[in-house]
Structure formats: C-alpha cells, structure tokens
Structure 1
C-alpha cells in the first residue's frame, strides 16, 4: 500500500490535523502561571493564559497548542485558557510510551481537570482534539462543560462506510500505523496534504513544518487509536450541549456537497442528546483560520448562552 495514497483519504475523512502560525505582527498572549505537576500528565503539557471561566483548548494531530494563539488572544480577557500540547506533536518531546496513547491522554486530561479544581470547563477541540473532547465528556459527563467540536467525528473509520465497525477497520488501521511509524512522508508529500486542509500559503508551510517535526511513532499510534475507537454509541452519555462545526469545501474533489457532508455528521452524532451542527461555507479543515470570522461568531454565541453549565 502506497503511504501517500493511503493517507489521502484521511484528509477527506476529516482525520488529519496540524498547526498554523500566527501572523508575524501578532504577539503571543501573556502566560498566567498556575500550580501544575507535569509528572502527573506525561502525555501533554499545559500553558495557562487569561482569567475567568476555564476553557480547555485541545489541538489536532501533529499540532502544538500554538494553533490556538489567535483564539486565546480573543478569549483571554473573559476565559482562563488551558492550552494543551500533546507529547510528540509539533516538535514536543515524544512520550516515553505510545501504549494506549489516546486512552492515557483522555485519563490524564480528566485528572488534570480534577487536580486543578476546574469547574466544568468548556472544551474547544479541533480534529483529534474534538474527538478527545467527546471521549472525555462521554467518560465523565459531569466533569466538563459545553463542547465546541471543530471538524471532527465520533468514529473516523466509518466516514466512507457507516456500517463499518472498529474490528473491521483494525487491519487497515494496523497497516497504516506500521507505515506512518516509519516516517516515510517527505516535505513535498506533507505539503500536498496540508494544502488540502488549510488555504493560506504561509499556514500551509507551517502545517508542513509541524508535521515533519512530529514523532512518527506517536502520530501513527494516535491515528490508529482514532481509527479503532468508535464513540458513536458512547456520545449518548454526554449531558453537555455541543456545538459541532463542520467543513465540506475541501471535499468537493471527492464529490462531496454541503448536504452530503452534513448528512455524515448528523448520522455520526445521531445519539448525542444536545448538539447543533453548523457547516462552514468556505473553510477547509482549519476552520479557525480559513473561516475565522464565522468560527468566532459561532463560538462566541455558543459560549455566551445562559445555562450551559451541567447541573
């Protein structure tokens, strides 16, 4: 199986994510230091910025927390932003072990919320980060607040075949894991995939750089874990309201329409009790960059709604 060919459907399946860079003229937000014990969460690091209601920002595959810099700059005056960077992504040191990688990330994030005494923080998650937000909420429904899911699904493996099960997907996922872990993608291939996920040329360059700087074994395991974890039945346990922001413009070459892509989202989220789906007209995978004004309008209005906290 050709690696580039095998990864191309992942872009169409909303799987791959990376990071983007802030414009050179924009300064990174100031950091607020809080007591934290990184030894308690070896699979990620946290940067805390701002004051107010706590919000966790979880990035996608291969991206560090810097992907949220513009989002943090907007929200830091009214929210305390806990910006996550997963180990092994975007130049961060790889974890000591990739065994049960995303399961460990889930449990460590939930433990972080408890030890930091965060009262039902909202979570904004992009791609893998959105998947993680859903998993955290389904595991401990009362631990977190409202969710903003940016272009992600409960089960990536079933995008092309809704009847697919995790066991049916596992052989393909294993083959993909083996190939990705070998790190064969070169800069040209990385850039080709990045161009399918983000529009701006400078951001494509940054996406490519972070992908090349990520640890292949960690990326491979994260992809495998996502492909073989089906959260479609589990989202029924989520008590929080959820805003799902979807993209479809990048999938036109695959024959997708706004309606057909929205149908995939609604099918996958069918058991989620309280969600609203909004589809971007112009954005590719990085909606917070390609369709930034729309992204902020949707997120602003959702987070400001009264009564979002779970009782």
Structure 2
C-alpha cells in the first residue's frame, strides 16, 4: 500500500488514501449472516480485466472493491444481501492475487468497458452499483459513460477527483508529479520496504487491528505494475466536469473519525465541495469509522445500503 500521506505531507483523511488495500475474509467472517448463499459463476462472461462471483437471486446489485482490494471486502454484506438480491461481486485483475497480464498498459478505462459489457451480456436490468474507493470512482465513470446500463450508484468513501485531497486548487496537471511519484515508488520499493509501508499505512484505513493486518496481505498479493498504473490513473482522473449532466441517482457515503481520522467538519466540507455540482446527490456521513466503512461500522453501513436499494 503506497503511503499517500507521505506525498501530500498531510494527515488529511486517512480513510481516503488512494492506495487502499483490503480486508481479508477472516477479518469480517463474524459479520456473515448464518444463511450462506451459494456462489454461482458469472453468466456466460469472460474477461482478462475482471471476474465476477454471483450470489443469491433477485434485483441486481454490483459490488466493486477499491485499489489493491479483493472482493472479500464485500463478503459479509454480499451474503446478507443475497437473501433478497442477486449480488455480483467484482474482482479486478492485478489486485489481491488476481492475475495481471497487461504490463504497463491502461487500467481503468478497460475495466469500465468490461463492466458495461458484463451488464449487457448478463442481461442485468438497471443494476444498483456500490463501489468502494477506486471502485466508487469506477461506478461514477460507468454511470457517466454508460448511463442506460446503470440504475443507481453508491460511492463509498470515494471522490470524483481523488487528487482534490491535495487541496481545492489542484488540477490534473498539478497532480501529475505526485501521481508519477506514487507510481514510481510503488515499482521501486523492495518487498520489505513495500510491506513496511503497507503496515504503517493500514492504521489509517481501518480501526480494527485484525483487518489492518489482513489488508497488508492483499496488498502484497497484488501485481506491482497493476498497482503503479492504477494509482497514477486514479490520481489523474477528474470526473467533476461531467457531474452536472448526470441523471443517474447517486449516494455518496463517507467516513469521519474524530479520534485520529478525518474530523467530521473536514469530511463534510470536502464531500460537499467535491460533489457540489452533482444534481440530487445524497451525502451521508458515517462517524467513528475510517476508509473501510463496511468493516468499521457494518450495521450502520447495512442500514444505509438497505435504504439506498429501497429507493
């Protein structure tokens, strides 16, 4: 996990660090409902950019994990939802042990295109899409580029321009040196240094110590070139210009933690500023949590998801 704070010189919003890694399933198994849904293969779909695990039956919900993350971050929530929904758990190639075969080629746009292809080929009708961190950015991109395929979007601790963490005046071009530094550092670090950076950074992303340790392993299992390419592209992707023309309903759920994370007032100001031009956006703050809201506040998160899906 790259320590974004070392690039920005700020402790600003630990929970929103771009290089978020993921919870292991063991960290959240206690949250899984007694009813275990049966996993299905993704219907007639092949891709070298992503894979999909399908649980349950009913209206469609797509869950997209974040940077360096495994779909296991969604396991508890997916199992719960599968009682009444058909849940599509996405895994991005190059992250958390999923093979990567694209060298230094593009990362984000091919993922968006294959997500759209999956929705079309699987015959999903107006799916609800919930994405965490980089996954939230991907969900917004999908709705902007393929609005007819998307029913509604929930972004979880995700911004339409992640480099806005540097400040309101930052642009794609002024963020470029930091993005290039992040990518280069990801590639250059030896395994010991890389692991040490992840261990140090994990404390800022989630409060649970077991989850912190689990995140490190998923990051170590990720492909370094995929990580480098993805972090650079995420830091240089600004979705704000297209927000005013979006018609897809969007909820933006974000974290606040007065005890060492993002203070509520700071989080409020950032999300209100960055989503200001998106018509009808529903902004929801979750307190006493860091970046992985679904792990730090699972009951509160589930309540929000249920309201989102019911509307």
TM-score by length of 1: 0.90
Q: Which residue of 2 aligns with 1:309?
A: none
Determine whether 1:31 maps to 2:34.
no
CA distance in 2: counterparts of 1:276 and 1:14, whole angstroms:
22
1:96 Cα offset (Å): 2.4
Alpha-carbon distance change, 207 to 29 in structure 1, aligned in 2, over 3 angstroms: farther
1:283 to 286, 289, 293: 289
SS in 1 for 2:48: coil
**SS of the residue 1:124 aligns to:** strand
Q: Aligned residue for 1:76?
A: 82
Match of 1:266 among 266, 269, 272: 272
Structure 2 CA distance for partners of 1:213 and 1:239, relative to 1, 3 Å: same
Task: Check 1:168–1:112 CA distance in 2 against 1; reply closer, same or farther (3 A cut).
Answer: same
Equivalent residue number for residue 17 of structure 1: 20
Aligned length: 300
Q: Matched residues in 2 for 1:131 and 1:121: separation?
A: 16
Q: Deviations over 1:249-284 (max 9, x none)?
A: 17x647x53122111111111111121111111111
1:187 equivalent among 177, 188, 195: 195
- Superposition pairs for residues 34-53 of structure 1, below 5 Å? 34-38=42-46, 41-53=47-59
* Larger RCO (alpha carbons 8 Å, 6+ apart): 2
Q: Give me the whole-angstrom Cα distance separating, in 1, the residues matched to 2:244 and 2:187.
A: 34
- Corresponding residue for residue 153 of structure 2: 147
Query: Quick one: distance in 2 between partners of 1:293 and 1:199?
Result: 15
What do residues 2-51 of structure 1 show as CA deviations (whole Å, max 9, x unaligned)? 9782388586344232221244565864212343231xx21111111110
Superposed, 1:213-228 pairs within 5 Å as 213-228=221-236
CA separation of 1:181 and 1:54: change in aligned 2, threshold 3 A: same
Q: Is contact 1:14–1:152 with CA below 8 Å preserved after alignment? A: no
TM superposition shift of 1:300: 0.7
1:95-134 → structure 2 map (5 Å cutoff): 95-134=101-140
Note if 1:242 corresponds to 2:250: yes
* Unaligned residue ranges in structure 2 (runs of 5+): none
Change (3 A) 1:238 1:95: farther
Identify the residue that residue 198 of structure 1 maps to in structure 2.
206
Name the counterpart of 1:308.
none
Unaligned runs of 5+ in 1: 306-311
Cα 1:98/1:186, change in 2 over 3 Å: closer
Q: Deviations over 1:186-216 (max 9, x none)?
A: 3332112111111112111110110111111
Q: Write the distance in 1 (CA, Å) between the matches of 2:305 and 2:153.
A: 10
Equivalent of 2:237 in 221, 226, 229 = 229
Task: Give a deviation string over 1:42-77, Cα, whole Å, max 9, x none.
Answer: 111111111011111000111111111001111002
RMSD (CA atoms): 2.2
Match of residue 294, structure 1, among 294, 300, 304: 300
**C-alpha displacement of 1:236:** 2.2
* Inter-partner Cα distance in structure 2 for 1:125 and 1:232: 17
Q: What is the SS of the residue equivalent to 2:253? A: strand
How far apart are 1:237 and its partner, in Å? 2.9
Structure 1 distance, partners of 2:189, 2:90, is 24
**CA distance in structure 1 between the aligned counterparts of 2:165 and 2:8, rounded to whole angstroms:** 14
